[in-house]
Structure 1
Amino acid sequence: MRLLVLGGTEFAGRAVVEAALGRGWEVTVLNRGRHAVAFRGAPPGAPSPAGVRTLRGDRTAPGGLDALASGEWDAVVDTWSAAPRAVDDAARLLADRVGRYVYVSSCSVYAWAPPPGYDEDAPVVEGASPDADKTDYARDKRGGELAALGAFGAERSVFARAGLILGPYENIGRLPWWLGRIARGGPVLAPGPRELALQYVDVRDLAEWLLGSVERELSGAYNLISPQGHATTGSLLDACVRVAGGPGVELRWTPAEAVLEAGIEPWTQLPVWVPAGSDGYDALHSADVSRAVATGLSCRPVEETVADTWRWLRDIGGSAPQRPDRPAVGLDPAVEAKVLGLPFVA
C-alpha cells in the first residue's frame, strides 16, 4: 500500500505513520518540518525512517501543496482540525490520484447534545462549509468531512469520528497530567464515582483501524472510541497509581457534587472526567461504537495505554508536548488541597 499522511509527526499522525511502517507500507508525509521526530525503528539521528518519503509544505500558505502536484497513493490520512478549506484544497488536488480519503473527524460533529447511545446517524451540526475559514471545532471538523465528501464522493471517503484519544505522543495533556499528578504522590482528588464508565481510544488502536479501513475499502462515518465498559475512572486512575505512584499516593474518591460545588471544571481542570448524567457525559462517554467494532476496532487494555504513555513520558524527560491551539489542562494544587480539606504547601 502507498499511503500519504498530511502531517505525520504529532500524536495521531505519528501513530498512523508508525502503524503503516509496521505493515510494510510505503509512506509519504507532507508537513512543515517543525517537529523533529525519531519514529519507531529509525536509526538515531535519522530525519526519516526507511520507508518514509518526506515532503515539505504548509497547507495554510499559498503554494503550500505544491509538493503534492504529482504522485499517486492508495489512500491519504488527514488529521486536520482547523479551517475546513485546507481539507478542501487537499482533497480536490488529490481526488484523481488517491484511492481513498480517510479523515480523522470527531464526535463533536453531532448536534449538541447527542442522546445517550447515539450512533452515526445522529443529527450533525448545522452551518458547516467545506471552504470555510476557521470557525469552531465542531463546524470545522464537519466542514472537513464535507470537503472530503465533495471531492472523493461517498464511496471513497472515510470519517473516523474519534472521541477522547489517549496514549503515547499525546500533545493535549490529559493522561500526562494525571500521570504527573500521581507521580508527585500524596492524597489525590479522584472524581467519583470510581465505576463511572469511560470511552476513549488508544491512538495506536485508532491508527490500526484507520489503515484497516483502507484495506477493507470502507466508506462513511464511524464512531471511533472504545465500547462503554472498556474502562472506568477507577481502572484508569488505578493504572496510573500502579505505574507512576509517588510517595504516599492515595486516591481520595470525592462525590461529583462536591467537585462541582468547588467550582472545578470537568474535562479541563480534571481531564477525562465529566459527571454522569450531564450532556457532556452523554456526548463523550455514551456513543454507540458497534459499527467500528464490527469493522475491526480492537481496544487494548487501559493498563497498557497508561503504562506505555508513562514510559514515553519518562523517555522524553517527563514533560509532554503541548499543542499551542489547545488550552492547558489540570487542577491547581491549592484548589485540590482545599477540596480535600488539607493544608496547602507551595
Structure 2
Amino acid sequence: MRLLVLGGTKFLSLSVAQQAVDRGWEVTCACRGSSPVPDGATHLPWDRSTDAPIGLQEGTWDAVVDVARLPSHVRRAVEIVARPHWVFVSTINVYADNGSSAMEPLVEPVSDDVDLAEDPDAYGPMKVACEEIVATGTTSSMIVRPGLIVGPGDGSGRFSYWPDRLSRGGEVLAPGSPDDVVQVIDVRDLAAWILDACEARTTGAFDAVGQLLGLGDLLDEVAAGVSDGVSGRRAFTWVDSDFLTEQGVEPWAGDGSVPLWLPRPEYDGMMSHSPQPALDTGLRLRPVAETAHDTLGETAVGISPEREAEVLAAWHTRQASPAENG
C-alpha cells in the first residue's frame, strides 16, 4: 500500500503514519515538518496555505488520510489528489444536537477558513464543509467522526488527568453521576481501523467512538490500570453537577476543569454515540485500563489538588447543612 498522510507528526496522524510504516507500507507525510515524521516515512514538505509541491502533484498513492479542519486546505488537496481512496477525519462536533446521539442533522457548513481562537464554535461547521468537499470531489471516500480521542501523545491532558489523579489516591472528586455515559477511543485503535479502512476501501460515514460506559465504570477501569502506582487508598466522592457549576468548576477540559465531565442533559448525546457500525467494519477497542496504564506520567491537565480540596470541603459542608438539605 502506498499511503499519503496529510500531516503525520502529531497524535492521530502520527499514529496513522507510524502504524502504516510498521505494516510495511510506503508512507509519505505531506506537512510543514515542524516535528519529525516517523522513521521509514518520506517527508514531503508542504505548507497547505501555499501551492502544492511538484512531488505531491506527480505522486501516486492508493489512499489518503487527512485530518485538516480548514476548508481551503482540504479543497486544495482534493483538487490535486482526488483519485486515491480518501479517509477524512472529521468530528462528532458536526452534529447540531448535542443532546441526541443521532447522526443527523448536521450543523450548517462554514466554507471559509475561520480562526478558532476568535470563534471556537466554527470547528464543527468547518468540518462539515470539509466533509462535503471530500464527498463530492473524490472518487471514493470514508468520513470518520471521532468523539474523545485519548491515549499516548495526547497533549490536551484531558484523559491523562484521571490516571494521574487516581494514582495519587486519597479522596477523589468525581463529577456528576456514576451513571453519566462517557466514551473514549484510544488513538492507536482509531489509527489501526483507519488503515484497515484504507486497505478495504471502506466508504460511508462512521462515528469513531468507544464503548458506552458509565463514568463510574470508566473511573474504575482507570483505577485498575494504574493500581501499581497508587500511593494510598482512594475514595470517590460524587459531586452534583449543579454544585460544580455553582463553584465555577469548568467542564470537559483545560486548566481548572474536571475532565470528561459535561453538564446534563444538554450534552447527553455527545458521549453516547453508537460504536456498532464501526465495530462491524473491524474497529477493535482495547480496555480503558490499558490506555490508563499507558498514559500514566504523561501531560495531565485539570483541576489542581488545592482547588479540588476546596470544592470537596464546600460540598461536604453543603451536605451537612440542615438548611441546604431541607
TM-score, with structure 1 as normaliser: 0.80
CA-CA distance at 1:67 after TM superposition = 3.8
Structure 2 CA distance, aligned partners of 1:319 and 1:330?
10
Q: Which amino acid aligns with 2:42?
A: R
Which structure 2 residue ranges, 5 or more long, are not aligned? Answer: 315-326
Q: Is the 8 A contact 1:109 1:125 kept in 2?
A: yes
Pick one of 205, 210, 220 that aligns with 1:221: 205
CA-CA distance at 1:194 after TM superposition = 2.7
Pick one of 241, 246, 255 that aligns with 2:240: 255
Pick one of 170, 190, 205 that aligns with 1:206: 190
Name the CA shift for 1:230/1:92 in 2 (closer, same or farther; >3 Å): farther
Query: Which position in structure 2 is the counterpart of 1:330?
Result: 302
Query: Which position in structure 2 is the counterpart of 1:325?
Result: none
Q: Which amino acid aligns with 2:81?
A: L
Per-residue CA distance 1:127-168 (angstroms, 9 max, x = gap): 332x54556111121121112123205xx1111000000111
CA-CA distance at 1:92 after TM superposition = 1.1
Structure 2 CA distance, aligned partners of 1:174 and 1:106?
17
Q: Secondary structure at the match of 1:73?
A: coil
Q: Which amino acid aligns with 1:4?
A: L
Pick one of 86, 106, 111 that aligns with 1:124: 106
Asked if 1:94 is matched to 2:81, the reply is yes
Pick one of 174, 191, 207 that aligns with 2:175: 191
TM-score, with structure 2 as normaliser: 0.85
Query: Which position in structure 2 is the counterpart of 1:273?
Result: 261
Q: Secondary structure at the match of 1:101?
A: strand
Structure 1 CA distance, aligned partners of 2:313 and 2:80?
59
CA-CA distance at 1:296 after TM superposition = 0.9
CA-CA distance at 1:95 after TM superposition = 1.0
CA-CA distance at 1:294 after TM superposition = 1.1
Pick one of 31, 44, 63 that aligns with 1:55: 44
Q: Percent identity?
A: 37
Asked if 1:151 is matched to 2:137, the reply is yes
Asked if 1:163 is matched to 2:151, the reply is no
Q: Which amino acid aligns with 1:124?
A: L
Q: Secondary structure at the match of 1:149?
A: helix
CA-CA distance at 1:248 after TM superposition = 5.4
Structure 2 CA distance, aligned partners of 1:183 and 1:227?
23
Name the CA shift for 1:192/1:127 in 2 (closer, same or farther; >3 Å): closer
Name the CA shift for 1:265/1:271 in 2 (closer, same or farther; >3 Å): same
CA-CA distance at 1:206 after TM superposition = 0.6
Which structure 1 residue ranges, 5 or more long, are not aligned? Answer: 38-47, 321-328
Q: Is the 8 A contact 1:243 1:307 kept in 2?
A: no
Per-residue CA distance 1:75-117 (angstroms, 9 max, x = gap): 0101112x21101101111014xx21111100100113352x4
Query: Which position in structure 2 is the counterpart of 1:33?
Result: 33
Structure 1 CA distance, aligned partners of 2:132 and 2:228?
42
Name the CA shift for 1:241/1:170 in 2 (closer, same or farther; >3 Å): same
Q: Secondary structure at the match of 1:13?
A: helix
Corresponding residue pairs, total = 305
CA-CA distance at 1:226 after TM superposition = 1.6
Name the CA shift for 1:213/1:308 in 2 (closer, same or farther; >3 Å): same
Instruction: Give the aligned CA root-mean-square deviation in angstroms.
Output: 2.4
Structure 2 CA distance, aligned partners of 1:59 and 1:295?
31
Pick one of 282, 288, 291 that aligns with 1:296: 282
